[in-house]
Amino acid sequence: MALDPSELTTHTLLRINGAEALITDARQFPAWAVQAARHAPWVVVRRAPAWNSLIAVGLRGELRSQRLATWLPPSAIIECVTPRRLATMETWKNSPCRRHVPALQMLDRVAPIMRDHGLEHQWGPTGSVGFELASSVSTVTQLSDLDLALHLEKPWPVGHAQSLHSELAALPVRIDLLVEMPHGAVALSEYATAQGAFILRTTRGPRLVGDPWTDGETRAAA
């Protein structure tokens, strides 16, 4: 599956044909990474610019400390799954772990909330939940948070963000939602409460901005 790196957005999950497809600056590819890619040949697109036509991706191992920032040629992609596709297809309903894992159960409650806000085709699960739903490899635990991404192209009223944040915060599982905008992402919790400045996560690093919807004056965040 040959793709232009610019077509792939942060959080997109990619099935690859093994660890040999990955390119890293490390002198030696970690042994855990080889095993991880064999067990679950999936990587996630990182928030970083493409390099020499290569896609910035991350590989995860079984432990939280096992994360490898690496690069992938588009030709090595076998399958491409976005968080929005996972939500649209309601993939969690077929998960064998759904009844026992709170983070997976919460998706049944998040979906109607998003629909009521007119956002049903613009959100999706990321993090360990998204990885498990795409790869069918068990990674979510009883204590896992639920990470979400909400993709918006046009300015979103702060009042709407506050309402959504209030509803999600009332759920019995911690939910971390990133509002993905044209120039980067802002945490929903910050967007709903910040006054005057926001930390915008961009491919060049975090930036402190007055308006995250425009590409105006920015400075590096502390």
Element (H, E) at 44: strand 42-45
Q: What are the extents of the domains in the chain?
A: 5-81, 83-220
Q: Residue 206, Cα to own-chain centre: how many angstroms?
A: 16
Q: Is 147 a catalytic residue?
A: yes
What's the mean per-residue pLDDT of the chain? Answer: 91
User: Does 216 score more than 50 pLDDT?
Assistant: no
Element (H, E) at 220: strand 218-220
Q: Is 116 a catalytic residue?
A: no
Q: Are strands 123-125 and 42-45 parallel, antiparallel or unpaired?
A: unpaired
- Give per-residue pLDDT as tens, 151-172: 999 999 999 999 999 999 999 9
**The model scores a pTM over 0.85:** yes
> Catalytic: which of 4, 25, 108, 145?
145
> Catalytic: which of 4, 147, 176, 215?
147
- Give per-residue pLDDT as tens, 53-83: 899 999 998 888 889 999 999 999 999 999 9
